[in-house]
């Protein structure tokens, strides 16, 4: 399990090195169009948290090397000078002594202590690499959520722009009807209010869009980013169509038998404007069951794999502590030279030694007890992470499936409210419908579109959260 996930980690790092250099904060040009992957790459490159985790990986790599260094020989050297002056009633003497030595120590056998230390540090290094993966996943999740927020805000701006066009058309039509005496003054005033509200809503939508851009910049760790655009995604694609609206023959009226005046041949050059928000929206149903999703999470979640690697490291720490009772077998080769007033000597020496390092049996016994407790804690932490993953995936899965079911229902609602609006608009044109009926139909259509976009946004965020909960980028 660890080996497979480690291979995935190495692949992510290779992609990071080779492909994540497309954009840096200072390299985003004015008017550039970024995909969701571009934004993720920028965030990974700029994230201080990821950079910190990378330093932890380097630190644990160095620790592995430090422990392995015990397998290599150590070299020592010393030199000294000694002067002795002796005075007595019978004799005075001076003695000068020079001495130097060079020696090489080599660990021959440590009864597995060094091997346990090497394994322990390797497991800590693996844990740090999975911690780096966790940071990458979290960063990717934050960018995706912010990215979909921008798409949703952008779609809402288009809805409000279309709403302004609709209200401008209705205002012009109502004004023409009022000038011909076909509607009352209150209808014209009300339409002016609706047009003002539509313009205010557009301003608010544009402000929300700018705020969502700031959130995306923050998720990418970018300061003072130039203006740029983002692409639609496969699960969040939309388009908009705006057409000119002109009134034809609005002044051509006729008087009915009951004396009422209505427009004759008064038509629009087009039907009600359609924003076509997510008109051809298609998405693939999630391919995994809840059980399969949880199994994939247990297999892929880097925080769980990090905790398991930490557990293995603690186990090796316990093995090392148990072996502290055993001595080290070392060998030494040296050369020494000494010269004093009386004589001069030099020579080589070679030897092997069994030694312990200040062994305290009671202290070692308590260290073993402590290490056993740490191992039990590590095991419980693994169980706790598994439980948290189970409930996290379960909640994310249920939420995503519910939104997945809502999407076709919301599509139907948009079509129904559009059809109702078109009917109300046609009835109002020929005097069969009233102003309130028309406005209710228009608001229902506008609200249905906004709710549809919000559902798509919620679905994409829920899907992203589920993928992150499963440890998938």
Give 395-438 pLDDT, tens digit per residue.
999 999 998 888 888 888 888 888 888 888 777 776 777 778 88
Start-end of H helices in 323-360? none
Inside any domain, residue 355: no
Cα 137 to Cα 38: distance, rounded to the nearest angstrom = 15
Distance of CA 221 to the CA centre of its chain: 12
Cα 221 to Cα 464: distance, rounded to the nearest angstrom = 20
Inside any domain, residue 251: yes
Inside any domain, residue 340: no
Inside any domain, residue 350: no
End-to-end CA distance of the chain: 18
3-state secondary structure of 205: helix
Per-residue model confidence as pLDDT tens digits over 35-53: 889 999 999 999 999 999 9
Number of H helices, E strands in the chain: 9, 10
For the whole model, what pTM was predicted? 0.77
| CATH number of the CATH domain containing 449 | 1.20.1600.10
Which token pair is 50?
Answer: 């990821």
- Give me the residue label for tokens 């959260």: 465
The confidence score (pLDDT) of residue 279 equals 55
What mean pLDDT is predicted for residues 124-139?
Answer: 94
Domain that holds residue 198: 2-84+111-327+361-469
Inside any domain, residue 16: yes
Among 82-91, 134-143, 354-363, name the one with the lowest average pLDDT.
82-91
CB 144 within 8 A of CB 464: yes
Among the listed residues 136, 135, 124, 138, the one whose alpha carbon sits nearest the alpha carbon of residue 59: 124
Inside any domain, residue 180: yes
Per-residue pLDDT band for 88 (boundaries 50, 70, 90) equals: low
Does 146 or 18 have the greater pLDDT score?
A: 146
What is the number of domains present in the chain? 1
Inside any domain, residue 352: no
- Rounded to the nearest integer, the mean pLDDT of the chain is 80
Does 58 or 345 have the greater pLDDT score?
A: 58
Inside any domain, residue 89: no
């Amino acid at each position: 399990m660890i080996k497979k996930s480690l291979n995935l980690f190495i692949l992510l790092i290779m992609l990071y090195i080779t492909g994540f250099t497309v954009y840096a904060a200072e390299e985003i040009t004015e008017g550039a169009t970024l995909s969701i992957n571009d934004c993720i790459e920028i965030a990974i490159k700029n994230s201080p948290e990821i950079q910190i985790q990378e330093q932890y990986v380097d630190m644990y790599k160095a620790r592995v090397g430090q422990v392995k260094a015990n397998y290599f020989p150590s070299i020592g050297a010393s030199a000294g000078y000694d002067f002795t002056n002796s005075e007595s009633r019978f004799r005075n003497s001076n003695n000068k002594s020079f001495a130097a030595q060079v020696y090489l120590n080599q660990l021959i056998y440590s009864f597995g202590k060094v091997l346990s230390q090497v394994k322990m540090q390797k497991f800590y290094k693996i844990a740090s690499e999975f911690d780096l993966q966790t940071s990458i996943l979290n960063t990717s999740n934050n960018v995706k959520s912010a990215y979909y927020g921008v798409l949703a805000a952008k779609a809402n701006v288009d809805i409000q722009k279309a709403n302004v066009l609709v209200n401008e058309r209705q205002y012009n039509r109502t004004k023409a009807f009022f000038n011909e005496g076909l509607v009352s003054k209150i209808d014209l005033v009300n339409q002016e209010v609706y047009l003002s509200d539509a313009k205010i809503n557009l301003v608010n939508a544009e402000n929300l869009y700018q705020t969502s851009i700031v959130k995306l910049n923050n998720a990418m760790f970018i300061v003072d980013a130039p203006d740029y655009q983002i692409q639609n995604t496969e699960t969040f694609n939309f388009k908009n169509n705006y057409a000119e609206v002109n009134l034809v023959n609005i002044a051509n009226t006729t008087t009915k038998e009951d004396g009422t005046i209505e427009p004759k041949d008064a038509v629009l050059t087009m039907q009600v404007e359609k924003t076509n928000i997510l008109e051809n929206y298609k998405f693939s149903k999630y391919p995994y069951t809840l059980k399969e999703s949880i199994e994939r999470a247990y297999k892929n979640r880097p925080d769980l794999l990090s905790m398991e690697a930490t557990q293995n490291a603690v186990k090796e720490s316990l093995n090392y502590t148990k072996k502290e009772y055993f001595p080290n077998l070392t060998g030494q080769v040296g050369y020494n030279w000494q010269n004093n007033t009386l004589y001069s000597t030099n020579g080589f020496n070679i030897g092997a030694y069994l030694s312990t390092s200040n062994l305290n049996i009671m202290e070692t016994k308590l260290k073993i007890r402590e290490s056993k407790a740490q191992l039990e804690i590590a095991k419980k932490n693994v169980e706790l992470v598994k439980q948290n993953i189970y409930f996290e995936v379960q909640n994310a899965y249920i939420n995503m499936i519910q939104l997945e079911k809502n999407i076709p229902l919301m599509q139907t609602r948009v079509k129904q409210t559009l059809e109702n609006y078109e009917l109300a608009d046609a009835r109002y044109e020929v005097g069969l419908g009233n102003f309130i009926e028309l406005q209710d139909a228009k608001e229902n259509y506008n609200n249905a579109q906004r709710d549809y976009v919000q559902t798509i946004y919620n679905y994409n965020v829920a899907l992203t959260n589920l993928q992150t909960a499963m440890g998938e980028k």
